[in-house]
Structure 1
């Protein structure tokens, strides 16, 4: 209370000034006791705001710190997919990585894409190749994650499918129906960095032949290890 009383004078002067204006323009008068009480309220509210702002400045919690790769349950596997695209020439790339609950890579895939109509199409192609490949390998109950929310909504029938996208979406849906327990989910792109790195690496490829990895390539190692830190 003593600290607040010492700092009350500026707020009391401010409240007196406001009371003066109220009296001049609205013929409204305030008692001295009410004026002092209101000044105390103003000071307390200000001090509370300052404390909150100091906490926010000193301990910022950003979305990037919170969002990271989320490992699957021990009984399931997770496949993250992503696509890249350049509007200038329509070239793109697709990539995916299959990992277990400890973050260990089982398979990864990358392919250069030509004549891609949009970034969404490259995302869809990457997912289509992931679902097709893993079901072909005999995997079941896989969680497929993409950072394209629009693509997930199209697959789940929440959003209208673009005409050019219909064949890709239909194939993904048919493949998923043959894989018991497998599903497609959306996840924030900050938690999809490894798949993003794979898709972007395709810009260095000189061949259209897809690349399948069973051992983590050197250019991907640091990204995979970074995700393991949070397992």
Structure 2
């Protein structure tokens, strides 16, 4: 959600009016000002009450302004404050999401939730998330190859499938491309695809979003015991609890949500030689389409790479 805020992509009333919709541009809750992104998340009396009740340290010495980017910077800066607890660092991000959710509840369901209840639920959710992440990091087996990548592709164990993923990033357009391929324990390709990844700012973010697409596509196809392999060591370390990247907070949260749906999930760091098929799809699979996915038809170049993997 954070990138949608900064890129001014949230569909508030004032933005929808600018896009040609014939609706009331004013805030549906307070009716005092036009509903801009900054207004609904920070300046509306309802939002203001939520922030005050949360007792967030973000507002200890500063106040939110009419500049959305300045407000978001204030929240992001607080995340780096070593004097704050993990709960205090994360509460503002979750509260942003919850304020927007309650706005939609009002607009579409005519339901009004009290600010006090919102804040209590946010703090409870953050506490649960911190505990779950801590338990997950304790229980996951630490991969022995996080610093030494496997150099040849191998088939997954029986009852597992392996999904390789990769991403490309264009520094001129800030657009990424992702590729993924699922293979069984015989090495047979079960599905493959690629997609455009809009609004990415770094190669690391592109890799993370490519993985998220791969996870979703794997789950849609009914696989529940998965090994995900990629060549981005920074991402694999973050997924395995060996490092932290605050800029990946939202996509990693989404990945955590989706992986909870599987029976077994492993994230493995491998060399580029192991993901040549995924790299091919990320590079060439999306030249004409925004999204490409196939369980049967494989490009000729991809077939050659799959044969090479099995014969290595």
Please tell me the TM-score bracket, short chain as reference: 0.5 to 0.7
Q: What is residue 175 of structure 2 aligned with on the other side?
A: 91
Q: What is residue 226 of structure 1 aligned with on the other side?
A: 308
TM-score, normalisation: structure 2: 0.50
* 1:179 and 2:262 are equivalent in the alignment: yes
User: 2-side partners of 1:213 and 1:156: how far apart?
Assistant: 30
Q: What is residue 251 of structure 2 aligned with on the other side?
A: 168
2:241 to 154, 157, 170: 157
Count of residues in correspondence between the two structures: 164
TM-score, normalisation: structure 1: 0.66
Q: CA offset at residue 123 of structure 1?
A: 0.8
Consecutive unaligned residues of structure 2, counting only runs of 5 or more, are 1-147
SS in structure 1 opposite 2:278?
helix
**Structure 1 runs, 4 residues or longer, greater than 4 Å off:** none
Is 1:102–1:228's contact at 8 Å kept on the other side of the alignment?
A: no
* 1:133 and 2:214 are equivalent in the alignment: no
Q: What is residue 37 of structure 2 aligned with on the other side?
A: none
- Summarize deviations over 1:169-209 as a string: whole Å, max 9, x none: 1111121122011221111122111111111114x62332x
Is 2:197–2:210's contact at 8 Å kept on the other side of the alignment?
A: no
Q: CA offset at residue 136 of structure 1?
A: 2.3
Q: CA offset at residue 226 of structure 1?
A: 0.8
Is 2:151–2:270's contact at 8 Å kept on the other side of the alignment?
A: no
Consecutive unaligned residues of structure 1, counting only runs of 5 or more, are 1-62
Q: What is residue 276 of structure 2 aligned with on the other side?
A: 193
- Summarize deviations over 1:89-123 as a string: whole Å, max 9, x none: 21220010000122110000101223321111111
Q: What is residue 213 of structure 1 aligned with on the other side?
A: 294
Larger Rg: 1
1:78 to 162, 173, 176: 162
Relative contact order, higher structure (CA 8 A, sep 6+) = 1
Q: What is residue 147 of structure 1 aligned with on the other side?
A: 231
CA RMSD for the aligned pairs?
Answer: 2.0
SS in structure 2 opposite 1:192?
helix
Is 1:112–1:205's contact at 8 Å kept on the other side of the alignment?
A: no
2:191 to 90, 107, 115: 107
Q: What is residue 68 of structure 1 aligned with on the other side?
A: 152
Is 1:91–1:115's contact at 8 Å kept on the other side of the alignment?
A: yes
